[in-house]
Structures are given as structure tokens and as C-alpha cells.
Amino acid sequence: MNIAVAMSGGVDSSVAAALLKEEGHDVIGVTMQLRPPARIKGSDGVSDSAVKAGEVADHLGIPHHTIDLTDIFAEKVISNFCREYGRGRTPNPCVRCNRYIKFGVLMEKAREIGADLIATGHYARSEKDIKTGKYLLKKGADTAKDQSYFLYRLTQEQLGLALFPVGGMFKNKVRQMANELDLPVTDRPESQEICFIPGDNYVEFLEKNLPGSVQPGPIVNEQGEPLGEHRGIYSYTVGQRRGMGIAAAEPLYVTAIKSESNTIIVGPRESIYSQELTAADINWISGVGPDFPVTLKARIRYRHPEAEAMVTPMDDDTVHVRFTEPQMAVTPGQSVVFYDEDTVVGGGTIIKSGS
């Protein structure tokens, strides 16, 4: 079996490659070139991630390819990221990258160079349901590192071609294995940043990539009374408290962003709780929706705790979600992902909070 491993130059994907090689598979390392790289001596103009991944591949004795996906990444991920912030929404670029790039274009490129399957270092698991013949997407065994939230848009075809070798492992065991194998990325820190934004300074990034976006506008309370001026709606997200530069007798939070009027609305903490939301661009992992209405657990952003909710269809591509208990900072642009215990049922993009 020829398996391409999407190698980022990090510990998780490096160990994934090592595990598959130990199992006797023919492993091919592939690294996505997503941004024009800074020049690195001896790197032939590839990114630091590609250099590190190449070192791991050499250590493991497997071939390694760097695949230039700069243009398609800019089109599908970066441009969307900028547009969404310009609309007053808070996007999740990792979800789009997995959907269109890692399990889309990269998967196609990997098959062109002879791979049968593609593997990643995600902390998630997949298995085939014997009864239905459908592929299931499940949480990673290490719940503190579970990344199934970012994979909810995968199709049955994509899941059938995907492997998650470290999905059943805990992070400390993965690092231990990297040490035992003396992999050259053992001490590399775990990245917590958006990969295409230097220093995680997304405001500066947006100012450079959204021409004319620095348009000041009013900050008002829920009664419409002016409280101050913002520097541009791209600098704010629902639930934000700090950095608004306004004085008030009580802490105020961003409760809504109105792109059409270039206005930020703020209110007290209780105003950022919502019991309902509407989500669109829905993907069901099985390919079809469950029997509606259905009670599931829902997560409204990556680190947010799951909460019980009733999910009801509005049309083929939109659902209404009502939580048993109100949730803090339901944010348009973010993903809501539905779970049945440890199985991902599906999810979509939040387009509105409230009824």
C-alpha cells in the first residue's frame, strides 16, 4: 500500500509517517508549500516546514515531495479569510484548508505521484460502520488534543482515502515515540498560530490584505447611543471585551458587528449569550442528514465545551439550532459541529445567532 503522509515538519505528522513505515507500508512524504517562503540557505526556496519535513523523511528513509499550492491556498483560504473579516464575520481557515486543500487538492496530487491513501497527523479517528458501510469520523483518543472539529466537512470519499495514524494516541506518547526514534523535530514547539499570519497578528495582516479596510466607524450601545469610534470592523469579534478604547461603568462586550453600517454594537456580559443560532453550508458526514429534529451535542468553536442542542432543518442547506442552555459568544463565521458521543455527525457555518 502506497501512503502519502502530509508532513508539516511537526512532531505529529512525523510520527504518523514513522508509524506507517513501521507497519510495512510504502510511505511518501508530501509537504504543502502554501506561502511564498523566506529564503533559507540550502532550502531551494521552500518553507521552513518543508525543510524540516525533508529532514524527517531522510531520517526515516522515505521519499519526500514539496508541492506548491500557493495559488489555490490564496484563492480558497486566504482570500476567504480576508473577505469574511471584511463582512464582520470571524472565519475558521483551518476548516477550509482541510476541505479544499489538504483533503482536496493535496489528495489529488498525492494520487498523481502514486499514493493510494493520504495520512495526516490529526488527532482524530475514522472507521467503517459494518452495518451501513459508511465511514465514521470520530474524536481523537486524546480529548485535550482532539481535532475532529476541523474535519467535519470531509466527505465519504475523502474519509475513505484518509488515515489518522496518531488519532488513537495521546500527545505525550507521540512525543515519547519521536524521542525514541530520534526524529529531528523532537523538540520543535507546537504551533498555535494561523499558519499564514506572521506572529499571529491578524489585524496587521488584514490591514495589508484588505485594501481600504481601515474605515473608522461608531461603537454604540444596544440603545444606539454612541460610545466611541472603532478603527475598522475587522479588528473585532463577537464576545470581545478588551481593546475597544471606551470608558463605561460596567464591562462591555461586542454583541454584534454590522458591516452594512460599519458599526460595532456593545453590551453587558449577559447580552453575549444566545440560546439559538442558524447555520448554513451544512455537511453531514454520512452524506445524508439524521432523522430530524434531533438532539445532539454541539460545539460552536474549537475550544468551546459541547452543549446539548436540538437541530432542526430549515432547508437542504440550513439548520436551526436551539441549545438547552444559552451559549456565550455565538459568532457568525465560526463553525458549529455536531456530535453523537464521540462521533462527528456533521456541521456548518454559523450565519446568525438568535432566532
**To the nearest 10°, the Cα dihedral for 43, 44, 49, 51?**
-40
Tell me how far apart the alpha carbons of residues 246 and 230 are, in angstroms, rounded to a whole number.
9
Is 195 annotated as catalytic?
yes
Residue 68: beta bridge partners? Answer: 33
Q: Which of 60, 97, 161, 244 is catalytic?
A: 97
82 is known as an active-site residue? no
**d(C-alpha 307, C-alpha 323), whole Å:** 7
Of 72, 195, 307, 351, the catalytic one is 195
Asked if the bond preceding 293 is cis, omega within 30° of 0, the reply is yes
Q: Which residues are catalytic?
A: 97, 195
